[in-house]
A and B are shown apart, each in its own frame.
Chain A
Amino acid sequence: MNICPTEAIRVVHGKAHMHANRCVDCGECYRVCPVGAIIVEQDDFENIYNFKTRIALIPAVFTGQFPESVGSKEILEAVHDLGFTYVFEVEEGVEFLNERFNEYFQNNKSIKPLISPFCPAIVRLIQVKFPTLVGSIILLKAPVDITALRTRKTLMDQGIDPKEIGIFYVTPCAAKIVAVKSPVGEEKSVIDGVINMNFLYNKVFKILRQKKDKTEIPGLSPLSGKSVCWSLTHGESDHMNQGRSLAIDEINNVIEFLEKVENEEIDGIDFLELRACDESCAGGILCPGNRFMTADKLRKRALRNESDPDNHHNSIENTGNTREYLLDNCSLNKVLPRSIMKLDDNIAEAMIKMKRIYEMNGILPQVDCGICGSPTCKSLSEDIVQNKAEIKQCIFVQKILEQNDKLDISESIKIMRSIWGENVLDKNSLKDEINEIN
């Protein structure tokens, strides 16, 4: 509950509840929960068979999950064997996108710094917590969308019915799932379904173990070194040819930095690459491998790709018809703020509420124990004023009331059960102690 950077979690009836309007899908709660109470939804894998032409889009970090002895080609072949018609790497869209970024800088010189739209958790974080910075987000789609658009267009040009094309994205994190299910800055995502990376990892690992004969995947082209590393920290910032770029990973680092950006305490930065996870996508919550090892393996793969004389990157922009299509479709609509900070739409009401919050907060003990079901004393104060909680939920307040005969024990038990569940006070192991005391 305390880990949530936007204070979105409350405990009610013994379960963690997520405030959807506050949650930015960063996955920090999933990462730390000791009992696996947070689940990441995923589509049924069998859904791929709803389509005649099935495409898997694999991010480069997936290839970094396996031992170095397994080549990226073998991994992608194994995915193909699972039932896909085509397998492409997400980062095939990177070279095209990098050009668009540099164009975007030319056309938006007055906005400083421009912020990368790559990480969907960061886009949502800015919407809810830094509403004044939404105008700084670059309105271009992510590499996965570019590659998906390219693939769909190419297949349609070959005469395949668009209804029969199913594009599935293998995601390293929860934020990307939400980005597909309810995208920001697009009406509807070009992707038809999402497969969680840890799920696919198990399937692919099994195939690699049993595999004997080789299959060739049609249309797969090797990635440039830049593309392989795009989703890692510095992946974008190292390739912006405009001014000064900075890369920051891990959501709390990002929040700390954006506070300063918002105050204009920081200047001279032209481009910000911001990622919610430590080590960026290599640290995605659905990546089974160690993030540092994954990042290192990808960097080695990038070097190998760059030094291979046979590696002619088949970048997207070479194909005329598709290029036009992508140029028309690569932009995002305006990203709107959805502030969680405001206490009320009406300023006078908000002031009254703020006053009450300060009053409430003055009563509370400031130990942020979380027993009330809210992550901090301050957030309980806010919940009380917004009629979402009662001050009696605070265990310290309960003791003060009990001391003054204002609260009887049966009611305080009722309150604790309403927060932590019906069984929370039934501890059989304590029976002996209770008898002894009696």
Chain B
Amino acid sequence: MQGLNQFFNMTTEKMHFEYPVEGGNFSKAGYPSSQVKKTLKQLNVDGNVIKRTVVALYEAEVNIVAHAYKGVIFIDIDTKKIIIKLVDEGPGIPDIKKAMEIGYSTATPEVREMGFGAGMGLSNMNNNSDKLTITSEVGKGTNVEIINYFPS
């Protein structure tokens, strides 16, 4: 599948997917979001939930690509919700609370001038998830968990 490994297994009414993420490879970013989008469409999930999920996932994936060395995305879907776990090996986030603030950015002025690092990433993720949990260990890596519920 487009040169990326996808692990897939499923028991009835539960699905599990895994996607590896390569740090620094921006050109490949977006594949897991596209796959998740397709799956949710096939499951007839509400369009608005699909959109929020895909936006949050893409944002989180790009964070791994931009900051970490490598990572894995775990997707679990059941009939009520989707749980996305992103586990990376990377520098970690020293102050998560601060990182969540709108406009907070670690980007240098030069990078900001290029249009990146506006400090909207984490808050955008937060706005597009029903539940967002971030844990991190400096020097080791970051775990992000996004949960979105399907309207019944």
Contacts and interface: CB of A to CB of B under 8 A. Distances in A.
B79 interface: yes
Which range holds the interface residue count of chain A?
Answer: 20 to 34
Interface string B41-63: 11111011011001100100000
A341 B47 contact: no
B44 A263 contact: no
Given A262-B51, A347-B79, A354 B15 contact: yes
Contacts of A262: 37, 51, 54
Given A132-B51, A337-B47, A348-B13, A343 B42 contact: yes
Interface residues of B, number: 27
Contacts of B42: 341-343, 350, 354
A341 B43 CA distance: 8
Contact of A354 (B43, B50, B51): B43
A304 interface: no
Most chain A CB neighbours (cut-off 10 Å) among B8, B42, B150: B42
A352 B15 CA distance: 10
A347 B10 CA distance: 14
Contacts, number: 71
A239 interface: no
A342 B79 contact: no
A131 B58 contact: no
B34 interface: yes
A432 interface: no
B41 A131 contact: yes
B41 A341 contact: yes
A132 B79 contact: no
A411 interface: no
Interface in A297-347: 337, 339, 341-347
A342 B50 CA distance: 13
A263 B55 contact: yes
Interface string A128-165: 00011000000000000000000000000000000000
Interface in A218-234: none
18 contacts: A259-B34, A262-B51, A263-B33, A263-B58, A265-B33, A341-B42, A342-B41, A345-B44, A347-B44, A347-B45, A350-B43, A351-B10, A351-B12, A351-B13, A351-B15, A351-B43, A354-B15, A358-B8
Interface of B: 8, 10, 12-15, 30, 33-34, 37-39, 41-45, 47-48, 50-51, 54-55, 58, 77, 79, 150
Given A263-B34, A264-B54, A265-B58, 9 more contacts: A131-B41, A131-B47, A132-B50, A263-B55, A264-B58, A344-B44, A347-B79, A348-B79, A354-B42
